[in-house]
């Protein structure tokens, strides 16, 4: 499950220490998966946390309580789709894995909107954002996601495209969201021609937005003298690209190319890389952040327990 290191203009735990939190996330994820898998195999997943933790110490009871209650706490106000997705009990190991990933999602939003002393207010729409869930749930733990980040270029703010930072490079992604089967005709013009059920129309050339985000990424890499490769991606898993002349350092990933592109990332066993972390740290330094101080009681609770 990829790590959400930046969301909109929210403060991120990764901003405070990019060298600590990625490995801590991976460790906590493994620990909590082991717990929930054990409960599932014992047929205890549906019981109350008091029963599950009856033989545990006080600290472990608190951790199990949060593990069980996280979904219920986040369901309130997070949308019907999220509510329906998280309520159903898993019947097999495949469903358990999805159940577990859905339970991690609110935790990821928490880390992407708080530090130990500050927090940002998350727009409720993100709790049921299917595209954000796609980026987080379908890629390995060693991939970082900057989703709709507000970045700074020469003191000007810009809402950038999604940025996927893997161990070996960056992909700046523009997702084309159109009806399945749409045919897209890329060009160098301001607009692209598309066909839906034989009817033609135009859309704004997505490369325009990608180039603006590229300016930000390229500027940061040059500022910190980082030799980390990047490319621009127009991602359209349900569409087809026709008459394609792909620009330099750009990929058009349509229905025909998607599985190869996706499986390459899913099978990427590369560990976290120092240059990857350094690049992520540098990009985060040039993001805009809006946050307030957290109440003292909230700070104490966070610093007392190493958990999610």
Q: Tell me the two tokens of residue 38.
A: 């054990």
Gap between the Cα atoms of 175 and 169, Å rounded: 19
- Does the pLDDT at position 195 exceed 90? yes
Please state, for a pLDDT cut of 90, what percent of the chain lies above it: 77
* Structure confidence at residue 83 (pLDDT): 42
Write down the pTM of the prediction.
0.88
Name, in order, each residue with C-beta under 8 angstroms of 229's C-beta and a sequence gap of 6 or more: 168, 169, 170
pLDDT category, 307, cuts 50, 70, 90?
A: low
- With beta carbons less than 8 A apart as the criterion, state whether 253 and 235 touch: yes
- Residue 146, SS3? strand
- pLDDT greater at residue 67 or residue 115: 115
Of 124, 114, 109, nearest in space to 76 by CA: 124
The DSSP code for 35 is H
pLDDT category, 301, cuts 50, 70, 90?
A: low
H or E element that contains 26: helix 21-41
pLDDT category, 245, cuts 50, 70, 90?
A: confident
Q: In degrees, to the nearest 5, what angle opens at C-alpha 51 toward C-alphas 46 and 52?
A: 70
- Helices (H) and strands (E) counted in the chain, each on its own, are 11, 14
Gap between the Cα atoms of 33 and 45, Å rounded: 12
- With beta carbons less than 8 A apart as the criterion, state whether 186 and 241 touch: yes
- Does the pLDDT at position 49 exceed 50? no
Rounded alpha-carbon distances, angstroms, from residue 251 to 10, 30, 127, 288:
29, 34, 30, 28
pLDDT, mean of residues 182-201: 94
Gap between the Cα atoms of 97 and 130, Å rounded: 17
| Least trusted range by pLDDT, from 48-52, 103-107, 214-218, 263-267 | 48-52
Arithmetic mean of pLDDT over the chain = 88
pLDDT, mean of residues 263-272: 94
Total number of residues shown for the chain: 308
Summarize pLDDT for 77-127 with one digit per residue, the tens. Answer: 454 444 444 447 899 999 999 999 999 999 999 999 999 999 999 999 999
Distance of alpha carbon 217 from its chain centroid, rounded? 18
- Does the pLDDT at position 290 exceed 50? yes
pLDDT category, 59, cuts 50, 70, 90?
A: low
**Residue spans of beta strands (DSSP E) within 26-137:** 118-119
φ, ψ (nearest 5 deg) of residue 202 = -130, 150
Gap between the Cα atoms of 208 and 7, Å rounded: 22
Q: Does the CA dihedral 176-5-211-166 come out positive or negative?
A: negative
The strand pair at 3-7 and 144-147 is best described as parallel
- With beta carbons less than 8 A apart as the criterion, state whether 277 and 141 touch: no
- With beta carbons less than 8 A apart as the criterion, state whether 20 and 36 touch: no
DSSP for 59-86 reads HHHHHHHHHHHHHHHHHTTS-HHHHHHH
Please state, for a pLDDT cut of 70, what percent of the chain lies above it: 84
Q: In degrees, to the nearest 5, what angle opens at C-alpha 39 toward C-alphas 43 and 55?
A: 105
Summarize pLDDT for 149-188 with one digit per residue, the tens. Answer: 999 998 899 999 999 999 999 999 999 999 999 999 999 9
């Amino acid at each position: 499950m990829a790590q959400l290191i930046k969301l909109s203009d929210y403060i991120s735990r990764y901003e405070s220490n990019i060298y600590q939190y990625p490995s801590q996330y991976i460790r906590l994820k493994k620990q909590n998966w082991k717990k929930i898998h054990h409960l599932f195999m014992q047929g205890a997943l549906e019981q109350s946390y008091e029963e599950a933790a009856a033989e545990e110490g006080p600290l472990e009871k608190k951790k199990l309580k949060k593990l069980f209650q996280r979904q219920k706490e986040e369901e309130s106000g997070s949308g019907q789709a999220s509510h329906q997705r998280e309520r159903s009990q898993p019947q097999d190991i495949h469903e358990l894995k999805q159940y577990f990933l859905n339970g991690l999602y609110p935790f990821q939003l928490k880390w992407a909107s708080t530090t130990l002393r500050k927090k940002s207010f998350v727009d409720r729409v993100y709790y049921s954002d299917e595209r954000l869930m796609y980026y987080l749930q379908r890629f390995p733990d060693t991939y970082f996601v900057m989703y709709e980040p507000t970045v700074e270029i020469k003191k000007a703010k810009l809402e950038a495209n999604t940025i996927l930072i893997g161990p070996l490079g960056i992909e700046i992604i523009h997702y084309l969201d159109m009806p399945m089967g749409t045919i897209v005709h890329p060009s160098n013009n301001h607009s692209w021609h598309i066909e839906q059920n034989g009817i033609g129309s135009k859309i704004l050339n997505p490369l325009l937005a990608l180039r603006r985000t590229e300016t930000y990424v390229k500027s940061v890499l040059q500022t910190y003298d980082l030799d980390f490769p990047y490319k621009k991606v127009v991602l359209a898993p349900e569409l087809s690209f026709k008459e394609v002349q792909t620009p330099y350092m750009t990929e058009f990933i349509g229905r025909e190319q998607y599985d190869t592109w996706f499986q390459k990332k899913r099978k990427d066993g590369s560990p976290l890389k120092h240059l990857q972390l350094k690049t992520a740290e540098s990009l985060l330094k040039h993001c805009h952040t809006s946050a307030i101080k957290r109440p003292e009681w909230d700070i104490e609770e966070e610093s007392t327990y190493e958990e999610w």
